[in-house]
Structure 1
């Protein structure tokens, strides 16, 4: 047993397991905290009989470990802590005696039991100060388990509170006594109970010939593991680390330098997962006599003695090499500041040691959900982009940093140059200051960034992450996912402003139907229900179709809200009806795809004015808020005030509410562009995005400008859906300007786009392309803008007719007359189809105008 020997107490044992309140108490040969014990009977002492007993030892020992417990306690009836229960008298062969008082809540405690009628177990949190329960913390399986253990699994331990586990059974407490005279043989341990002592038992005794503490006080440290054979990233979860006398986390992939792609090279924007993994890490705390073993699917891959590894620093364990890096650490406060003003700068922050061990500021996760999926999990405050994890901080954070080389990455949206540098942490260092340099200040120019589409965060989380991404507006959207409702408690009908007033979160809704489509209703004062309808996939299983997107849009507009077609055009059903009847204020891009852009161009060519918005549709910790975002040029405050006054609950407006209303008003006016990185501007004959240029000549002068923290190559001007001018740099650059003369033969729309097609991808969960696209400038040859495209109108009409067919012939409606619907109309089918008939009439009118 590597220096530990359990004693045989059968000759003096006079009690059985029936003495204990827990019938599942450990019995027979046991290992507690890696130490061997033989529990073949219980040695009773104390109680009414007040019997003394002597346990034979007859050997030398550095340490004696006793597994004992009280069967009763007066502590919960007002008894005093520290009451002396017995004297343990250690007798030596030379006649010497060492006496140790055994006190409740110090060397001994009461055995675990159920506490009927008590809201909490009375012994919870009242373990002895100098002893530990026989039960120890255990890792749960990494990727599987019962649903009711989900929280515990995410915490890694079998106790969701990750405290000293109150998990039955534990029956005994282990108390270790250090022998002051190890060179002399111990003959016996004599137990002499005090008067009126409660009954107690000794279950087992183990002696040690090792100088190490049997119940170690070692603080865990990093263990580097280099595999002899590479594995795919998904295979890492099959490895576990086992320590017989200590604790160990699951092993995780180390973050090592790789061939940086252009997005990774700027820093702060993640990195692709490697094709193969050989470098792992874990945190291990163990006694010198412990053995650490790396297992794959339960089979040992490599093992090493912890003491030998500690002495050598590195050992070949067979299928892997183990290395212990420098254990020195310093508790450091990190401050992130604006390089110009010195003010605190919110950002997302990634830290890792020179060995590739990720480090999180205190309160954050170094490895967000262990490389597993994060849909609706670990969403707030942390981010994982491919191979790297980030913590959102408000300008300051603190925690342990390794002495030596530290790699730092920080990003704060698209107007701040990402930081990527290596610093040295010296022993005793107390502070680290990081400086971020702003490349643009669009707020000062009256242009604000917002995300139209965010899920699962709290409003406070939205403020923290939005600030870290340089956003002024975050639209947190309630929704329904069958029988799951999210963000119910976040809805207040008003914006919430950050303390500095620079970021606003507004909880509103994304209302969804799996055939008709998804629609974002921004700036709601009252909920619009149902949030989802028509049964699965979005609404409850087996539910009926209660309403349509058009009716949702009408209710939103009645409140003065803003209607955005989410991730246009899909799901592709009712969208053309909303466009044809003027019920939609903007269409949203969540990624740059030729199909999505082509559908938007089709509607623009049909003559509809459709501003473009950008939204992240964040539902995981693997997508940043604002990875797709909307920049809006704010209108005059008076115009926004008029818009706000039309909504429910107008009243007095705070500055935050007024800024949110102005942002929405600017979006509705088309003064916007959507971006996943570049900053983009466009003028046509001097008119900005969203404007209508009347009485244009046969040609117009167009100027587009791109600035980007991720260097790009392509800047284009699009007119009527065709690229009419392009500048393509020989090498990627962070700034491009394109001026062109564009012929205007008919009323048309003109927009700018950049980076689309360059092939640069973010490392978020959807690997979205880096690029940007403006809303149009509308150019009219006469005194009004008019454009028509019969093919586009026919396409729209077919989709509207398809929606009518779906509602009439396939949608779940329920038997007529059996339900009293929210809308209150007697003819439910007529209610559902009315907006679609309105759309057909509007499309026919536009077609006739041709």
Structure 2
């Protein structure tokens, strides 16, 4: 049986430029048509096992490109299209002598079972497939009469069509190469996921993915390529083998062995968007794989270096960073691009093909130095020389993100999709390190950013990595002394982190207290097993330093009535976590609790109750506050765009009605786009030691402020935030003293807020960083006073960057009570009652009546205050309450 070489095949449309490039053919498929002795379609029990027969439609024939290698399988005018190596030796003769350096076999072994003893034990334990058993022998015969035999053993050069997990092959690969893939969340909206969500998080498939019958690729090295190879003898030994195809190549090394990850910078034609995924892919590598394509980023280093607030990077037009892994002789294909210009000739066709070895000839490509220099990065506290956790970012000269060895190179920014220790800010990626981290960096310039909260000045510097660089130490200096003054920081609202990850991120961000909240989303629960109602992670009694703490609480939620954060309570978990159906609890769940009932139970269990992410969901939380079951309201960091005036509007109306509830800051962190403590609480301990309990007590007292960066101190007549001042009927003049500092966001205005209205204003120089002032404020009627700070990042709009808790001023014993604000609060309670009565899925009668009693109590309390202040108002139809009427003409219906 004589063999002919056939031209390189497979994806011909992508290979048409090879001749133009002057590149010789790399692969020649052998014509096995005269050697095929079986038809796949007609395989029977005399030929092979039942498993193969049952799956014969999965066996390959025709033209294929496998791992970038072309194979022509079963090219025969008759019906035979595979070599079955079972009982007889098959001889293949070359019509023209071959000098190929390697012969690439596409083959597989039939299944072979090992019998077990009576106990089900294999003796000897060779595994499945049977490790090391010689299936057949391939013999190379040369014109000078010499022969070289190669044993083909299971799990070495060949394996079975299906294998047990973990019993892989050592010298052969499954016919489908590993591929880059998108996470399901990133798929186009019109593309259905093909694999489960969790597996898509890998962003890479594995060998043989998607195949039920694995065909094995083996590169047999010709030991004498200088000789005339004239025959192949294929001899069966201890099993049955299928040989589907053979391709010859003169590549110097194994085409199935790829080099380590590498990077290119590429300039595309204007308007071209590179896409390595799926049927729309316009960039690929044959003997390798594109790992990722990301925009090259412009950090504008002249503005970035040594700048506390540089702008975020922007993509460079038509510039891309291509991560890939490939054989040295691989070809890169870029489609629909006319921009590549070779120094030798212009390449301008629909499908551009470039050997990786010749990239330097093309002006559109720059090979980026390999990130292979091992460097230890240490973040050091300047005061004592010890490593401290911090948030760190490293990028190379083209803006390419350089992750630590144990970090995500492509951080996942999506909701509840990753427990990694990264932060994603647009296209700017960072990670959290415990003070020391191992990196692999490229030689040449790298750019490092280190941040740690609001009291340490951010560091952004350039370093040049050389072959002698082993360690980089970066010193952090505590600039603002708020912690030394007794202030402690907290994030009141964090989800989807493990407690230890929360502890690391809290310390790296300078957040002393991280409240990690267990909750429920439909049939999904978070951090259930982390709640025990007693442990404060990081405390001295639990082996920590006591300076950074994590406590697991719960966020109990109802989609109409509202959410409530229950922090630090002791004992059993307050249940149900969520109630009343989607989108908080499960479909069909009845309404079994109100926000107020949850809050009351938390306080009975010595916890702290926070009304989260003010103002929404905006309903029954009003009842909780009116009944005095709320310890603080939370200003949140949705979209990281500052404190929203809409949120403040809700808080101000409670203050206007005399409800002195302090402000705290919480992120509601649910993904890596939000850093722990992006907005945070500062609370001032009054001389007592810092513990989780002392922190809760300080928040209850109200000496707090919420901030995105600016730090403040604020006193009225010497009294701290959260205080109540009492004046006589004649009123008086208040002495308002404040100071503000910021090493992060530049401050633009410092405002005094009186009853929600703008009072005094100090226009700040953003470059100064430190500000102080004093105002004299005449007061004739009861009011509340707070400090509001505005700031502005470069290239961004001005935001409300910080807000103090209020100080209440009572004149002549009469508290604040604003008519229109009181009516809106009452309306929320009435609306909540209407929902419970009309739409909410009812639980048992006792639970139903208890919920209505709670709402009625709140309604009566506020309604009576309104009457006490002589306020007339309208009622909704849901709650006529004639039993409270004191005068028949005081309602307007």
Name the TM-score class by shorter chain: 0.7 to 0.9
Partner deviation per Cα, 1:122-171 (whole Å, 9 max, x = no partner) = 3x333332222222112335615427432232222234xxxx45653343
CA deviations 1:779-800 (Å, max 9, x no partner) are 3456x67333233223322322
Pick the aligned partner of 1:211 from 236, 252, 274. 252
1:772 Cα deviation after fit: 0.7
CA distance in 2 between partners of 1:543 and 1:394 (Å): 43
Aligned mate of 1:55, from 92, 101, 105: 92
After superposition, the Cα gap between the structure-2 partners of 1:301 and 1:594, relative to the gap in structure 1 and judged at 3 Å, is: farther
Rounded to whole Å, the distance in 2 between the matches of 1:681 and 1:233 is: 52
Alignment of 1:141-540 (within 5 A): 143=187, 144-146=191-193, 148-159=195-206, 164-165=207-208, 167-193=210-236, 197-230=238-271, 241-258=283-300, 265-266=307-308, 271=312, 277-294=317-334, 304-307=352-355, 309-313=356-360, 315=362, 321-327=364-370, 329-369=372-412, 374-498=414-538, 499-525=544-570, 526-540=572-586
For 1:365 and 1:606, the matched residues in 2 are separated by: 50
Unaligned residue ranges in structure 2 (runs of 5+) = 1-7, 9-24, 75-80, 115-121, 338-347, 539-543, 637-641, 870-893
Residue 833 to residue 135, structure 1, CA distance change in 2 (3 Å): same
Question: Which residue of the other structure, out of 22, 31, 37, is the alignment partner of 2:65?
Answer: 31
Is the alpha carbon distance of 1:633 and 1:794 closer, same or farther for their aligned partners in structure 2, counting shifts above 3 Å? same
Provide the C-alpha distance between the structure 1 equivalents of 2:274 and 2:177, rounded to a whole number of angstroms: 30
Stretches of structure 1 lacking an aligned partner (at least 5 in a row)? 114-120, 638-654, 821-825
The separation in 2 between residues aligned to 1:330 and 1:492, in whole angstroms, is 44
Find the partner of 2:859 among 840, 843, 849: 840
Contact in 2 for aligned 1:294/1:301 (Cα 8 Å):
no
Q: Which region of structure 1 is more displaced relative to structure 2, 255-264 or 669-678? A: 255-264
Question: 1-side partners of 2:145 and 2:621: how far apart?
Answer: 95
Taking the aligned partners of 2:522 and 2:144, their CA distance within structure 1 comes to 77
| Equivalence map 1:40-189=2 (5 Å) | 40=74, 41-45=81-85, 49=87, 51-57=88-94, 58-73=97-112, 78=124, 81-109=131-159, 111-113=160-162, 121-122=163-164, 124-140=165-181, 143=187, 144-146=191-193, 148-159=195-206, 164-165=207-208, 167-189=210-232
Paired residue secondary structure (1:332)? strand
Aligned match for 1:3, one of 22, 26, 30 = 26
SS of 2:298's equivalent? coil
RMSD over aligned CA atoms reads 3.2
Q: What are the Cα deviations for residues 660-703 of structure 1, in whole angstroms up to 9, with x where unaligned?
A: 11111111110111011111111222222223334587112211
Deviation at residue 399 of structure 1 after TM alignment: 2.8
Q: CA deviation at 1:207?
A: 1.0
What is the CA distance between 1:4 and its match in structure 2?
0.9
Q: Which residue of 1 aligns with 2:876?
A: none
Which has the higher mean CA deviation after the structures are superposed, 99-108 or 590-599? Answer: 99-108
Would the alpha carbon gap of residues 363 and 716 (structure 1) be closer, same or farther in structure 2, given more than 3 Å must change? same
Report the 3-state secondary structure (helix = DSSP H, G, I; strand = E; otherwise coil) of the residue aligned with 2:362. strand
Higher mean alpha-carbon deviation, 396-405 vs 37-46, is at 37-46
Secondary structure of 1:99's partner?
A: strand
**Distance 1:774-1:156 versus aligned 2 partners, 3 A rule:** same
Distance in 1, matches of 2:59 and 2:302, equals 56
Stretch deviating more after TM superposition (408-417 or 177-186)? 177-186
- Which residue of structure 2 lines up, in the alignment, with residue 652 of structure 1? none
Distance 2:605 2:169 in 1: 61
- Could you report, residue by residue, the CA deviation over 1:536-576 in whole angstroms, capped at 9, with x for unpaired residues? 33232344322211111111111111111111222221233
User: CA contact under 8 A between 2:138 and 2:151: conserved in structure 1?
Assistant: yes
- SS of equivalent to 1:442: coil
Which of the residues 784, 791, 807 maps onto 1:777? 807
Q: 2:336 and 2:630 mapped to 1: Cα distance?
A: 55
- Inter-partner Cα distance in structure 2 for 1:579 and 1:38: 76
Question: Hey, what's the Cα distance between the residues in 2 that align with 1:359 and 1:543?
Answer: 47
Q: TM-score, normalised by structure 2?
A: 0.82
Distance 1:10-1:311 versus aligned 2 partners, 3 A rule = closer
CA distance in 2 between partners of 1:221 and 1:247 (Å): 11
Aligned equivalents of 1:486, 1:234: Cα separation in 2: 35
Whole-angstrom distance in 2 between the partners of 1:681 and 1:564 = 23
Deviation of the 1:422 alpha carbon:
1.2
- Give, in whole Å, the separation in 1 of the partners of 2:100 and 2:305: 62
- Cα offset, 1:288, TM superposition: 4.1
**Contact 1:287/1:306 (<8 A) preserved:** no
Give the match for residue 873 of structure 2.
Answer: none
Q: Distance in 2 between matches of 1:190 and 1:584?
A: 85
How far 1:16 moved relative to its partner? 4.0
Q: Relative to structure 1, is the Cα distance of residues 231 and 511 closer, same or farther in structure 2, using a 3 angstrom cutoff?
A: farther
Q: Quick one: distance in 2 between partners of 1:479 and 1:827? A: 25
Q: In structure 1, what is the Cα distance between the partners aligned to 2:482 and 2:26?
A: 69
Provide closer, same or farther for how the CA distance between residues 694 and 495 of structure 1 changes in structure 2, counting only shifts above 3 A. farther
* Superposed displacement of residue 375, structure 1: 1.2
- Displacement of 1:631 in angstroms is 0.8
- Tell me: CA distance 1:531–1:261, structure 2 relative to 1, closer, same or farther (3 Å): farther
| Counterparts of 1:531 and 1:313, CA distance in 2 | 61
- Aligned equivalents of 2:850, 2:673: Cα separation in 1: 41
Find 1:549's aligned residue among 588, 591, 595: 595
The residue number in structure 1 matching 2:617 is 571
Structure 2: distance between partners of 1:261 and 1:770 = 24
Q: Which stretch of the first structure deviates more once superposed, 9-18 or 558-567?
A: 9-18
Q: What CA distance in whole angstroms lies between the structure 1 residues aligned with 2:490 and 2:420?
A: 18
Tell me how far apart the structure 2 counterparts of residues 176 and 69 of structure 1 sit (CA, whole Å).
14
Secondary structure of 1:456's counterpart equals coil
**1:622, distance to aligned residue in structure 2 (A):** 0.7
Mapped pair 1:666 → 2:698: yes
Question: How far does residue 453 in structure 1 lie from its aligned partner after superposition?
Answer: 1.0
Change (3 A) 1:310 1:496: farther
Q: Distance in 2 between matches of 1:61 and 1:310?
A: 21
**Distance change >3 Å, CA 262–CA 779, structure 1 → 2:** farther
**Deviation sequence 1:33-62 (CA, Å, 0-9, x none):** 11122332333446xx4x333222332212
Number of equivalenced pairs: 785
* Inter-CA distance 152–829: structure 2 relative to 1 (3 Å threshold): closer
Distance 2:214 2:353 in 1: 30
TM-superposed deviation, 1:606: 1.4
Match 1:607 to one of 649, 655, 658: 658
Contact 1:462–1:474 (8 Å) recurs in 2: yes
In the TM superposition, what whole-angstrom CA distance separates every residue of 1:345-375 from its partner, at most 9, and x where no partner exists? 2122111110121111122222223xxx501
Q: Distance in 2 between matches of 1:836 and 1:693?
A: 31
CA deviation string 1:46-90 (max 9, x = no partner): 6xx4x3332223322122222233324578752664444544321
Rounded to whole Å, the distance in 2 between the matches of 1:615 and 1:260 is: 34
Deviation readout 1:748-776 (Å, 9 max, x if unpaired): 32221211xx444899xxx9946111112
Residue 305 of structure 1 and its aligned partner are, at CA, apart by 4.2
The 5 Å alignment of 1:799-818 reads 799-808=828-837, 810-814=838-842
